[in-house]
Each structure stands twice: as structure tokens, then as C-alpha cells.
Amino acid sequence: MRSSQFAVRNSQLITAFHSDCGAALPIVIGQKLFSLIKTPKRKVCFQVLYHYPFVGDKLIIGKFCALAKGVKFIMNGANHKMSGFSTYPFDIFGNGWERVAPQPDELPFKGNTVIGNDVWIGYEAVIMPGVKIGDGAIVAAKSVVTKDVPPYSVVGGNPANVLRKRFSEETIELLLEISWWNWDIKKITKNLEKIVSADIEALKVCV
């Protein structure tokens, strides 16, 4: 995965990860994902846990997302069989215990984890397996997201719940229709002031 760095207030660097993510892991990363790092030698990025190729799930992150330090994605490989009396993973220790290895259909599988575009995930938030987070959403720091998040919603807590919508339903519908994150970089650069404003009429003119 390519990355580029630039200074912010002389005390931090921003790392922007580009979309040509290596194919070794089932992770799809959109354009201009970034996270903060404290020094040039120590990167502080998001973590993807229990992501085993044999499980078959993917982590898909959209374009222009911002992930704070300590964000964690828990994937389906973390799940244990829950239908029996014990949830302990005896099978991983071998020595005959592998005979009770659960079959794939005995393990909870919640599908791919999908993060939309222009999503901001706060400090040390945890995203659970199979969660879908809509475009423009904000996840508060240290939240545990266990269910899908609607577009342009602010969620927080453990488990995370919708605290408020960022804009009216009409504006959200227009923003999803405009999908500025799919514009080419030249068009985005030209219209940055409108993208970071809250003037939907001005943004509509750019389409």
C-alpha cells in the first residue's frame, strides 16, 4: 500500500493511504484514507483483528475516511461456537481435542464489514463483525459499534446508538445522490470550499 506524509503543526504527521492496497489480505481501502502518527518512526494506525483468510470475510473501507488512533475492526474470525455448553476453543490445542473443531456453519458469520465514504471513526472505537457504516457517518470515541449505522448519522456509546442525524433527510438524500467522493481529484480540489461548507444548494451547482 502506498502512503504519503505531511506535517501538521510541526508536531504530528498525517499519513494518507492510497487505494492500491496490497492484495495479500482481504482488505479493500478507498482513496485518501488517513490516520495520525506521532513521530516519523512510529505509525499509529487502525487494527484489524481475527482476520483469517479461511473465514472468507472482507474489510471494505470507502474513500476519504478518517480513522483515529486505536480504532479496531473485529472480524468474523473472533467468533466462537455458542450453541454448546462451553465456548472454549479446545480444538486449537490439538492432542486429540481437534475432534471437536466446530464446522463452519456452527460459527456465527455476519458477512463483510463495510465502511462507507467520508466516514470519521473516533479514538479507540471498536467496529464489530459484519457492521455496515453509511456514508458521512461519525462514530464517537471509544464507541462499540454492533449494528449498522445510517448515512450521515452520529453514533456513540457501548453499544453505539444513533445520537443525531447530521443534516435533514432531504439534505442527506441529496448528498448521497451527489456523492462528491466519486469526483475526480481536480473537481474535488476546485470545489473544496463547497464540500466543507453546509450549503447544499452551492454543492448542487457543482454536479
Residue 180 phi/psi, 5-degree rounding, is: -55, -25
Ranges assigned E (strand) in 38-105: 47-49, 59-61, 66-67, 72-74
| Cβ within 8 Å of residue 36, ≥6 positions away | 8, 12, 13, 14, 15, 44, 68, 69
Q: Are 151 and 136 a contacting pair, CB within 8 Å?
A: yes
* Residue among 163, 164, 158, 162 nearest 145 (CA): 158
Could you give the 3-state DSSP secondary structure of residue 174?
helix
**Cβ neighbour number for residue 73 with a 10 Å cutoff:** 24
Is 80 part of the annotated catalytic residue set? yes
Selected catalytic residue, list 12, 49, 53, 80: 80
Q: What is the set of active-site residues?
A: 80
